[in-house]
Each structure stands twice: as C-alpha cells, then as structure tokens.
Amino acid sequence: MPSDFVILLAAITSGLATAALMNLKWVRIAQRVHYLPREVARIERLWFDAQPIAALWWAGAAILALASLQGAAWLDMPQLAWLAAVAPLMLLPTPWRLPFHGVTSPLAWTARAKRAYAGIFLVQILVGALTVLVLGPAGVLIPLLFSASLSDLALGFLWYLERKLSMKYVSDAQRKLRRVKPRVVAITGSYGKTSTKGYVAHLVSGTHSTVASPASFNNLMGLSKTINEHLVAGTSVFVAEMGMNAEGRIRELCTWFPPDIAAITVIGEAHMERLGSKEAIFRAKAEITEKAKTVVLSIDQPELRALAQKCERQKKTVITVSAQGKKADVVIDPELGTIKYGPGDNPSTIDIPSFGHAINMAVALGIAWALEVPKVQALERLAHLPVAAHRAEVGHSGQGVAIIDDTYNSNPVGATHAVESGAALAQKRKGRLVVVTPGMVELGPVQYQRNQQLAKAVISAGGELMIVGRTNRKALLEGASGKATLFDTRPDAVKAALRAAGERGVILYENDLPDHYP
C-alpha cells in the first residue's frame, strides 16, 4: 500500500488544483461586486437557494472525505484513504451552472484582480494547513467547502491594502479639484441619480463649462478617475454621482470631494438588502447634505421634507422641489404640463418629456436654478433631455419592433413606470407588449413581494411575461399566476420575444443580471 505521505501529497495536490479553478469563479464575482467583503458568500447563497440540489455535491464530497478519514477504523479498508484525493474534485461544479469564465461579465485580470486571487488562495492554504494537521488528508476539503466565505475574509484583509494603494490617485484628484476650483454638484438617491446627473449636465452646459462623472462612476476611485482624466482648466461645474453600500460611505466621499450643492433624488428600497431598512438608507443618503452650503430636496417624501427643514435650521440654502404640484421652489406638474422655475416664478406650460421621472427632472431644474441658469435656457434644454444609456431607451429592431431598453434599472418604481410606458406605447402601435426580465435584486426583505408586484403589473397591462434565470423565478411566476415563459439565458428569451412581439409589438427589457447571478 502507498505510504500515508503519498496519500497526503495526492490530497494536497488535488485540493490545490481544485482551489485554483474554483477561485476563478470567486474572483470574478468579487470583481463584479467591487471587491466588497461578504458579497461573494451572498452570491453563493443565491445559487444554492435557486438550485438546492447543488448541495448534493457538497454532501458527496463530505461523505468521501469522511470515508477516507474513518474507512480503516470502521470498515477495515485502509485503501479508502485515497478518497481524500477524490473529494476535492467533487466541488468543481459548485455552485452548479456558475461558469468559470463569464459571458456577460468576464473576469478582467487587473492588478487588483490578481491580488485578490493570490489573497484568496493564500487564506485557503493557511486554513487548509491547519485542518490537515488536525484531520490529515481529509482536512484538505475544509477550505474548499467554505471557499466563498474565505474569499470574503481575504477581501476584508485586502481592503486596507487596496485603500492604501488608491490614496495616491485620490490625493491627485483632490489637488486637481483645488487647482481647477469648479463648483461641485453631488447627487445621490436610491434611484434616478444617473439620469438626474445627465439631466443636470445637459441643462447647465449651455451656461457653464461642465464635466460629469461618466456612467456609474460613483465611488471613491470612480470619482478620482473622472477628476484626474476629465477635469480641465476652465471647468466651472463638476457633477458627481455619489453611490453607497453602507452608512458612512457618502460622508467619506464628501470629505474627499466636498460638494457646494448637494441633491437627493428619492429615498427608496434599492439598498434594502445591504442596509436592512429604509431608515438606514435615508441616513446614509442624507450624509450628502452635511458639508454642502446649498441643498436641493424633494418635499414629496416626508423624510426628505423633514431633512429640508433640518437643513434650513442649519442655515443652509435649501431649494425645495416637487413633482406632485406641491408648494415648492421648483415644481413640475406632469398632469397640468406646467413648470415653476424658482421661488416667485409663475408656472409655464411646456411639453414635459414622457420618458423620464418627473422628480428627477425637478431635482435637475433645482440644481440648474442654484447654478443661475436662466429660465428660458433651462426650459429650452429641458425639452431635449438625454436618455441615460440602458435606462428606458427607446429604439427599434430591424424588423420594426419597438424596443425599450431598461436593463440598468432595478427598482420597483422605475420598473412599474417602464411597464406603464411600454403598455401605452404598445396600445399606440396597436401591438403586443412583451416584457423580458430576471426581476429585481438587492431589495432584501421586500424583494419577493416587489417581484410579485412587477409580474402582476405586466399581466394587468395585458403583457406577456418572459422570465430569465432563477434568481426571482418563483416570485415572478407567483405574481403572474403561472402565466409566464421561462428561460435560462437572456439570448434565448430575446429570440422568443422578437417572435412573440410581431412587427407592431413592443419589447421591454426590464433589468438585466450578469451571469454571476443564477
């Protein structure tokens, strides 16, 4: 029989090879979630929740490891010790169907990704060394069973290293901001911040030389990169979108890049999974007002109305806005088709763009007013607002089908608005509405209910629902009372949607999830 050393060497080799391959999945997920600790294990849980049968691979590996450890004692079969080298290989397919190399979100081997891969591997080796000392060859399996959690542990340790490495770029951005001296406009909100940022840049660029952070560059490195690469001498306004995933993050951004004008679009449920409650979301978003001398806030939501009153007591300049016809400095009334631009202004009748949320337009106008953009110019440019990429973009396929691309949307209000707009367009075209969606994510305790409501809205609007993936399949099916078609991948759903819509139909692509989601 081979020596115990040979068996141990075989088990370690098998474990290292398995870890090297599995870690490709974990690093890809880590990159997609911005290397945030605890997120890798969260995504892993989603896969096991969507496909519980995948746990059988774990169980099988554990049984083999146990048999290798106790085989000689229980069954008088010392040859079972070799199973310690086979057990790690059982975990290669887990989570079931999660690809090693993504299609919609392939791994980019950046310097940070390489450090993350090495860090995860090192933590696994250290844990494996301890478990092998205790359990022998079977101990190789332990760090593999908990590799997602160990990945999060490694990311937690690396977080401090990455922060130190990034400080040079942040300091460079700070110096450039002080040198150019633009007025900094900071925008946040549970949703609508990217669209509002685009609206602001469009409204004020006729009066001011304006730079806005591109796409969703809304964290410390994204804003630093924008300043370092795009801010030039003569820029008078810098529009910064500020995102967060925990309390304190926006306060930190405002410490590095203090805003002159701060605005909040709306408080919603988009961060519920990470922050746990709407109250915590409000506190995290309200941090953007702390250093600003001027704030733009909606009075349509009670919490923002109270925040506006608090800011007034702090002697800040407060510009209130409303999209419900309430008494405010800037008011958009979609029903009447009127706009009031600034305190004391008389409402003007104007064609309000139908694709955008009125509150986003109202906030943008409030910021434009704070930047002293003349009314005539602001309202003229309002009629030609840009549509943020993949946010209710309307186009047409080669066959003439109307396409509403809302794939970057993942909030209940925006999704409902998109379904209503899609249904109205389908009625106008006298065609059929087809909605392709994987549902909404990161809504925490309300996610199941909100996806049910989304499905109900589609069916109530006379639409045909096509569900992609397994993340929200159960909730969407329940909301649609089973009246939906299921697809494992989006390309398959797209082909079916084009066939179902016909020449006069409308296809709404509502949200999209990269393939690290089930």
Regarding whether 139 and 219 lie in a shared domain, the answer is: no
b/e burial code for range 471-503 (CB count within 10 A of at least 16 → b)? bbbbbbbebbeeebbebeebeebbebbbebbee
Residue 327 lies in a domain: yes
Structure tokens at 311: 């800011």
Residue 25 lies in a domain: yes
Whether the CB-CB separation of 29 and 516 falls below 8 Å is answered with: yes
**CATH classification of the domain holding 423:** 3.90.190.20
Predicted pLDDT of residue 167: 92
Residue 458 lies in a domain: yes
Regarding whether 158 and 63 lie in a shared domain, the answer is: yes
Task: Read off the amino acid at residue 144.
Answer: L
Q: Which long-range contacts (CB under 8 A, 24 or more apart) does 472-479 make?
A: 472/438, 472/439, 472/440, 472/441, 472/447, 472/448, 473/50, 473/439, 474/448, 475/439, 475/447, 475/448, 475/449, 475/451, 476/437, 476/439, 476/451, 476/452, 478/452, 479/451, 479/452, 479/453, 479/454, 479/455
Whether the CB-CB separation of 299 and 322 falls below 8 Å is answered with: yes
Predicted pLDDT of residue 1: 46
Q: How many domains does the chain have?
A: 3
Predicted pLDDT of residue 414: 82
Structure tokens at 391: 């946010």
Predicted pLDDT of residue 411: 82
**3 state SS of 274:** helix
d(CA 510, CA 226): 29
Residue 173 lies in a domain: no
Residue span of the structural domain in which 273 resides = 181-382
Q: How do residues 88-139 score in pLDDT, each as one tens digit?
A: 998 888 888 888 887 777 889 999 999 999 999 999 999 999 999 998 888 9
Residue 175 lies in a domain: no
Regarding whether 189 and 119 lie in a shared domain, the answer is: no
Predicted pLDDT of residue 468: 95
Q: Where does a domain end: 382, 409, 435?
A: 382
Regarding whether 433 and 351 lie in a shared domain, the answer is: no
d(CA 273, CA 253): 22
Regarding whether 351 and 203 lie in a shared domain, the answer is: yes
Regarding whether 236 and 141 lie in a shared domain, the answer is: no
Regarding whether 194 and 135 lie in a shared domain, the answer is: no
Spell out, as residue ranges, where the chain has pLDDT lower than 70: 1-2, 71-79, 353-356, 388-392, 397-398
**CATH classification of the domain holding 221:** 3.40.1190.10
Bond prior to 95 in cis (omega within 30° of 0): yes
Residues β-bridged to residue 331: 322, 340
Regarding whether 460 and 406 lie in a shared domain, the answer is: yes
Cα atoms in the Cβ-side hemisphere of radius 13 Å centred on 303: 15
Regarding whether 275 and 139 lie in a shared domain, the answer is: no
Whether the CB-CB separation of 369 and 319 falls below 8 Å is answered with: yes
Q: Where are the alpha helices (DSSP H) in 231-287?
A: 249-256, 272-275, 278-286
Count of other CB atoms within 10 angstroms of residue 398: 6
Predicted pLDDT of residue 127: 96
Residue 258 lies in a domain: yes
Record the pTM: 0.85
Regarding whether 420 and 372 lie in a shared domain, the answer is: no
Regarding whether 256 and 201 lie in a shared domain, the answer is: yes
